[in-house]
Structure 1
Amino acid sequence: MATPSGYKYTDIVFEIRGQIGMIKFNRPKSLNSLGGNLRMDILTALRELNEHPDTVFTVITGEGRFFCSGADVLAEGKQTPVSYPSPAAKKVAYMARFSEGIMFEYAFLPASRSHHTAVELMRSMINHKKVLVVALNGPAVGAGAAWFPPVADILLASTSSYLQTPFSQLGLVPEFGSAIHFASSTGVHRSNDFFMFGRKCSVEELAQWGIVNRVFPVTNFHQNVQAFLEEQLRVNDGKSMMEVKRLQNGPLRDQRLLAVHEAADALAERFVEDAPTKRFQQQRDMLRGEFALKHCPMQFTIRKLTDQ
């Protein structure tokens, strides 16, 4: 799908209906994981909607049963081992990659295979002028939970939604300022429970805590979201709603942008210690083992016996 700017979207469905711009993640076979061209597509659409003369709401949602599954820990990738003269040099190398927006799941891969868009994507959402609506059509895991819901102005969800981040399990830290962003909505203790322990937060809890603004049935979810926003536009003045957003977010902007870079610093330190590399491999081996046990039980048993 091409746009007036000539850019062709491949991993999102992008449409504008009246005063509502819709960005739908469209990689349902991978549960909308953040691979392929998805991040560049989102970033391009955000820039286009930010300057659109008519829109008030920018909606980020997903096709299929997941909103976003974050990283794919089964993804294959080989990297030639790199030696560094010192821990400081190693950290600088990783900081350079993270400042370019190379996510942790791609930190194991050569830079040419990564999309250098994540930091710019976060900056674009934080600075977005329109009312940013995240509509969780299903579960959001990892980066899907950490990047988008915490910076939303309005958070809508289906009854099948939940949030979960396995960062501690993988030896990581909350990405791109998400710890601060999430704590500003939930409070520090709930945020710590969510990020430290990888706790799954159900949609019922999120609604009870006041994080989710509205919950809709899974059936006809996108139609219900569209109808809800159209009703708000009928009742309320669009410019006034955008001004409410500006006044709310203005004092938070610098703190949020600083948090993005402080999180990159903390993440680089974890890679200096090699903690993510070891835990990521353990998780990948475990998932491969579970897949083999389910689909190839004989081969899995033989492999386990020969490994002993």
Structure 2
Amino acid sequence: MAVPFVVYDKASKSWYRLNPLLSEEDLQKLKDLWKSRLIEAFGEVLSGETLTKEFNIYAGDRYYSLPHDYVEVLFELRYNARKMFVNYANFYERNPFREDVDLDFVRFVFGYENRTERYGFLTNLRRYLTSISVSAIQKKLEEVEEMLRLVEDELLVLDSEEFSALRRSLEEKAEALRAERDRLRSLLEDPDRAFDILFEEAQRKADGMLSRERITEERIIHILEGLYGKRIIGYKFVTVEEDIPLWKFLESNPSLVLLSDRHKTIDFLLFMDPYWEDPPDPEFITVGGDQSGGES
């Protein structure tokens, strides 16, 4: 169960973000509510003995700041959307089967289709976000018009003969700004289309931000920031090789960092110390040799 700390007031048609500060009493109340809902949903297939046991219920109260924490948010969303039988599979990977297992409930879990239910404004994003879409486009239009005004003012005083290259560049920029201005104006005339366009743009941005490559880079950055205790503001990643055998990677004797999250995924990476006096060129790094000990 995910609870966003955002409220939409239908009367004023305004959005409010709540301060997500939860006390121990608040967290306990959330646990009690969730336990009651679990019993309500699955009580018929749970044995009486199971119902008397203590429920291990986790209530997280972490505050996420987007877009910086989008990797963590993605993980939480995927974790919450997992199939219920994943917990059983993970448990029995490390433990033997027990005789006191509620077999009827286990069979129910393995046949249960995980359903996601949405409530409140999440049931109809178009209805509640259309007004925000129009406001967002209006603000973007104002920014584009201001940029266009500055470029056109610059063109009025620029010497065409002395700064011909710069003038051509400014003219191209002005043309692009006029096209964007006209596009935004047309969107304001059709609020539904405005929502679709902004939603598609946000989805493309999210797909890029949540790609496997980007998430891997973010995980690496988090590790390095933890190692050095400093904020990394600039970096460049170079892929040397992909999908190589582990033995081959280990034989290359690099500085090794092992990354792992709560899923069964592990990434290895070459860590190049920025203080090396004569670091190797990444384009010419080769990894390992053959299993007989030869080098490459």
TM-score normalized by the length of structure 2 = 0.28
Higher share in strand: 1
* The structure with more radius of gyration: 2
TM-score normalized by the length of structure 1 = 0.27
